[in-house]
Structure 1
Amino acid sequence: MATEVKSLNEECGIFGVWNDPEAAKRTYFGLHSLQHRGQEGAGIVVRQENGQLLGHKGMGLLADVFSRPEALDTLVGTSAIGHVRYGTAGSHGIENIQPLLFHYLDGDVAMAHNGNLTNAVSSRRVLEKSGATFQSNSDTEVLMHLIQRQKEATFVERLKASLNQIKGGFAYLILTKDALYAALDPNGFRPLSIGQLENGSFVVASETCALDVVGARFVQDVKPGQLVQIDDNGMSITNYTNQTQLAVCSMEYIYFARPDSNIYGVNVHLARQRMGYQLAKENPIDVDIVVGVPNSSLSAASGVALALNVPNEMGLIKNQYSSRTFIQPTQELREQGVKMKLSALKAVVDGKNVALVDDSIVRGTTSKYIVKMLKTAGAKSVHLMISSPPLKYPCFYGIDIEHTRELMAANHSVEEMRAMIGADSLHFLSLPGLIKAIDLKHNAPNEGLCVAYFDGNYPTPLYDYAADFEAPKTADERVLSATVEMEEV
């Protein structure tokens, strides 16, 4: 998976189904297709015949969590929600693995969340002062406590009131004895789609690839500010707010989503291919071959090769069975970790001028190792082409980068980055080029895309994160910083 090679992660995928006799198994297959969105933990909760909810969750990959057949076989029910997690908010313990399950006198509630709340800390502080007791330290649980404290008569009314109190990026699935609910934040940062099975049952998933896997026909995307209710009477959609403005995360198209998914009508593979094509048109370099970094950059590499009119070669081989490397205390071991996952194909790159295509540069360490690997294999020159603009700003809506000090482009010029990485040249896609390539055609700023990671213009207030926000260093600040470091040495 792409997350094994890079150090940029999105925190989860969600899947839900209502009124399906194979609910748990259907959810398992749906989650399996969303495994790229999170490998830290997984869980499934079903609604049993008596209306009570029953769940199973654990640490690790979905197949590990449900490695024993009885773990899935005991989840008997006709409706279910599931979750695969990569944590951005909260610790990495079992208590934060979702769906979170709550038992109340008036019925059970299960909740799964994709995204990150920007006012979770302050909201939790207020809730705890009023007597709320949290079972996890995940921001997901904040919504449940808000629901319990609303005065409205019905669950739907309490849910709508609570959704208006949370801020940031969120796609929620909520299961009760009476219904399955899906809710999207007012900006639609995270994707969420609805499908329908041949038996008439509705399913909801983070990506359309999960709908395809379970045999569901795509019905529609959940739109910003919408609350979807699915029950025995069918599906109904209302708005919990009219203060909406589409700003879907551009990194979904660049890196996170599977190539066979469609987000707001745009196919991810074709968008990435257009990014590569536009990148090469903006930077028409002279090379012999194009090599994409597996797997998320292969679509962009095909676009670069098309624009440059040179062969698109498999110059890097990925070991599909390599494990994630968590502890790499020395440079030698870090390089070994990359070699476990990627190897250069000497017969392809030896003596060639190579255009190496990747989707983004986060900290730059992996790029450095890959460039070195290609040159060791005999590449005459390596020209690094990035199919997105420089990542200069942190994300607060569900990506695990919250500090500019983690971002290479926030602290160094392009030429400094090139020298540090060891590439013969370094090229990025322009921001207008990115927006043009995705081609969302939506009447909104940046055509309905969130591109804050590149320009620092966040679509919402940052709330709890505002005090921690660091702007990238200016050129003068970089020079001053380097001078101070030299004096200290």
Structure 2
Amino acid sequence: MLTTNPHEDDTLHEECGIFGISGATDAARLVALGLHALQHRGQEAAGITSFDGVEFHTHRAMGHVAGNFDREDIMVPLRGSVACGHVRYSTTGETALRNVQPLYADLASGGFAIAHNGNISNAMRLRRDLVRRGSIFQSTSDTETIIHLVATSNYRTTVDKFIDALKRVEGAYSLIVMTPEGMIACRDPLGIRPLVMGKIDGPDGGSIIFASETVALDVVGATFVRSIDPGELVMVKGTEITSHRPFPQVAARPCIFEYVYFSRPDSISEDRSVYTVRKAIGAQLAIESPVDADLVIPVPDSGTPAALGYAQESGIPFELGIIRSHYVGRTFIQPSDKVRHLGVKLKHNANRALIAGKKIVLIDDSIVRGTTSLKIVEMMREAGAAEVHMRIASPPTRHSCFYGVDTPERAKLLAATKNLEQMADYIKADSLAFISIHGLYKALGEPQRNAIRPSHCDACFTGDYPTSLTDQDDVSSVDQFALLAERVI
């Protein structure tokens, strides 16, 4: 089958989105609404688990929230005043129903459901150790490792078991956990993945909500309370909220790509408007990389705020030179080679009357493999553009992410294998420029990137990974050993 964009792998896929609520009538219905607002973070699968005080109830399905959680026969059984949900794009584990979250297990202490945004970078090593000790895994997801660590912990209370488990994992995680004792929400010590808390006022204390982004609070009518701090664990039991900080305090390193692409522009991330930051990125890009052009054109939709900032700073008119179709499904027809080649136009089409004879500057959020950029540039030339310049609202992506973002292996990243001139030649643009790493930090309101203690995780641009990469190092060691053995043989 032909996807709506044959070059869909030419992007950094969103990590996942999580949403939980405690103390609400028909909690699962509010979770479904919250997941709708987070659908951009994962379109592969969705799931909701609820708790009615006695039993846990779960429904998980492949596909979008709509179509799976808008049916009464599915929603009515998800009863209870506590619920959590998850939208998924797989970064570890196969695409299968058994990996769809929330994951659930019956532990000695009672039911345990978990929804995870992020990636455990030592999950493979932990899994091997747990299997040797007798654990039986039901999925290939790294999230299940946490369940087994909790189950085998020698601590007494669920919270202490959970903290004990988290002290053994590396990497990035925002988690929502449901137990008979209450709901737990937490963030990794560096705060790489986002998590916010909100509240809906009402009788008996109202409802407490946790979500990946503030936009999910908006859709259910909740008030933003605060971000969960890096390394913080919040426990909700009825109307009682307690905060635990079991990890040594370290400088936070939230993912900088949330501002570039992942978060919805109407979200607030770490007290900053994502939309405002993206416009500032575009303005800084115009300062660093001006171009003589007639029009500024965004690559929709993620390039639009940066293009507005670029146009305002440069004085070049902003126009919608590429029109995106929002109504094409994920599959279309059995493709011939010719149809597959034309497939990019299913989502994007040139506004020919506007482009013909014009010198244009295209603004996009990033370049990964470069195949989509090539098709977009070719589309502009076919529409009669006199010149096509491309400006990118992030630094070159030269390194893979191991914290919950699905990126190609480094050898397939265009910026890892080609210099700027070679990249421009590859995508057939008249010129190409990226915002500098210091310029990106300026758009965040900082003078420049602090090389010793950067305020964000920017490893995909710099290779400066803020945690150990145990599984990656293990794989590299095996590869190196195999290469050495091959040479010896």
Distance apart, 1:236 and its partner CA: 1.3
Q: Which residue of 2 aligns with 1:312?
A: 318
Matches within 5 A, 1:91-130: 91-130=94-133
1:462 has 2:469 as partner: yes
1:419 has 2:425 as partner: yes
* Cα distance in 1 for residues equivalent to 2:332 and 2:285: 33
Q: Which residue of 2 aligns with 1:485?
A: none
Q: Is the 8 A contact 1:98 1:111 kept in 2?
A: yes
1:273-305 C-alpha deviation (Å, 9 max, x unpaired): 011100010011110010001111100000110
> What TM-score, normalized to structure 2?
0.92
Q: Is the 8 A contact 1:328 1:334 kept in 2?
A: no
Given candidates 77, 80, 87, the residue that maps to 1:77 is 80
Q: Is the 8 A contact 1:186 1:241 kept in 2?
A: yes
Given candidates 132, 135, 139, the residue that maps to 1:132 is 135
Q: Is the 8 A contact 1:266 1:440 kept in 2?
A: no
Q: Is the 8 A contact 1:440 1:447 kept in 2?
A: no
Q: Which residue of 1 aligns with 2:60?
A: 57
Q: Which residue of 2 aligns with 1:23?
A: 27
* Cα distance in 2 for residues equivalent to 1:435 and 1:326: 41
Q: Is the 8 A contact 2:101 2:114 kept in 1?
A: yes
SS class of match (1:313): coil
* Cα distance in 1 for residues equivalent to 2:334 and 2:343: 8
Given candidates 451, 456, 474, the residue that maps to 1:449 is 456
Given candidates 165, 169, 175, the residue that maps to 2:168 is 165
Q: Is the 8 A contact 1:328 1:337 kept in 2?
A: no
Q: Is the 8 A contact 2:350 2:383 kept in 1?
A: yes
Aligned in 2, Cα 1:410/1:331: closer, same or farther, shift over 3 Å?
farther
Given candidates 225, 237, 261, the residue that maps to 1:219 is 225
SS class of match (1:415): helix
1:35 has 2:39 as partner: yes
Matches within 5 A, 1:252-263: 252-263=258-269
Q: What one-letter code is carried by the residue in structure 1 that aligns with 2:12?
A: L
Distance apart, 1:73 and its partner CA: 1.8
Aligned in 2, Cα 1:433/1:355: closer, same or farther, shift over 3 Å?
same
Given candidates 295, 304, 311, the residue that maps to 1:298 is 304
Q: Which residue of 2 aligns with 1:208?
A: 214
330-339 vs 229-238, which moves further: 330-339
1:9 has 2:16 as partner: no
Q: Which has the higher contact order (CA 8 A, sep 6+)?
A: 2
Q: Is the 8 A contact 2:439 2:448 kept in 1?
A: no
Distance apart, 1:332 and its partner CA: 3.9
90-99 vs 155-164, which moves further: 155-164
* Cα distance in 2 for residues equivalent to 1:168 and 1:229: 22
Distance apart, 1:105 and its partner CA: 4.6
Q: Which residue of 1 aligns with 2:368?
A: 362
Unpaired stretches in structure 1, ≥5 consecutive residues? 471-489
Q: Which residue of 1 aligns with 2:487?
A: none
Q: Which residue of 2 aligns with 1:434?
A: 440
Aligned in 2, Cα 1:243/1:463: closer, same or farther, shift over 3 Å?
farther
Q: Is the 8 A contact 2:10 2:369 kept in 1?
A: no
Q: What one-letter code is carried by the residue in structure 2 that aligns with 1:350?
A: A
Matches within 5 A, 1:143-182: 143-182=146-185
* Cα distance in 1 for residues equivalent to 2:346 and 2:94: 28
Distance apart, 1:366 and its partner CA: 0.3
Distance apart, 1:242 and its partner CA: 1.5
437-446 vs 124-133, which moves further: 437-446
Q: What one-letter code is carried by the residue in structure 2 that aligns with 1:116?
A: N
* Cα distance in 1 for residues equivalent to 2:301 and 2:172: 26
1:248-279 C-alpha deviation (Å, 9 max, x unpaired): 11111101100011111011111110111000
1:247 has 2:268 as partner: no
Question: Cα RMSD between the aligned structures?
Answer: 2.2
1:279 has 2:285 as partner: yes
317-326 vs 451-460, which moves further: 317-326
> What TM-score, normalized to structure 1?
0.92
Distance apart, 1:7 and its partner CA: 2.6
Unpaired stretches in structure 2, ≥5 consecutive residues? 478-489
Q: Is the 8 A contact 1:116 1:398 kept in 2?
A: yes
Q: Is the 8 A contact 2:438 2:448 kept in 1?
A: no
Distance apart, 1:460 and its partner CA: 1.1
Aligned in 2, Cα 1:169/1:443: closer, same or farther, shift over 3 Å?
same
1:291-323 C-alpha deviation (Å, 9 max, x unpaired): 001111100000110111011101111110123
* Cα distance in 1 for residues equivalent to 2:415 and 2:124: 29
* Cα distance in 2 for residues equivalent to 1:443 and 1:217: 33
Matches within 5 A, 1:347-386: 347-386=353-392
* Cα distance in 1 for residues equivalent to 2:74 and 2:140: 26
SS class of match (1:63): coil
Q: Which residue of 2 aligns with 1:486?
A: none
Q: Is the 8 A contact 1:208 1:262 kept in 2?
A: yes
Given candidates 319, 329, 346, the residue that maps to 1:323 is 329
* Cα distance in 2 for residues equivalent to 1:469 and 1:268: 36
442-451 vs 167-176, which moves further: 442-451
* Cα distance in 2 for residues equivalent to 1:442 and 1:291: 28
Q: Is the 8 A contact 1:98 1:112 kept in 2?
A: yes
Q: Which residue of 2 aligns with 1:487?
A: none
Q: Is the 8 A contact 1:396 1:402 kept in 2?
A: no
Aligned in 2, Cα 1:240/1:203: closer, same or farther, shift over 3 Å?
same
Aligned in 2, Cα 1:296/1:469: closer, same or farther, shift over 3 Å?
farther
Q: What one-letter code is carried by the residue in structure 2 that aligns with 1:311?
A: P
Aligned length: 469
Q: Which residue of 1 aligns with 2:394?
A: 388
Aligned in 2, Cα 1:441/1:143: closer, same or farther, shift over 3 Å?
farther
Q: Which residue of 1 aligns with 2:485?
A: none
* Cα distance in 2 for residues equivalent to 1:243 and 1:49: 35
1:68 has 2:71 as partner: yes
Distance apart, 1:107 and its partner CA: 1.5
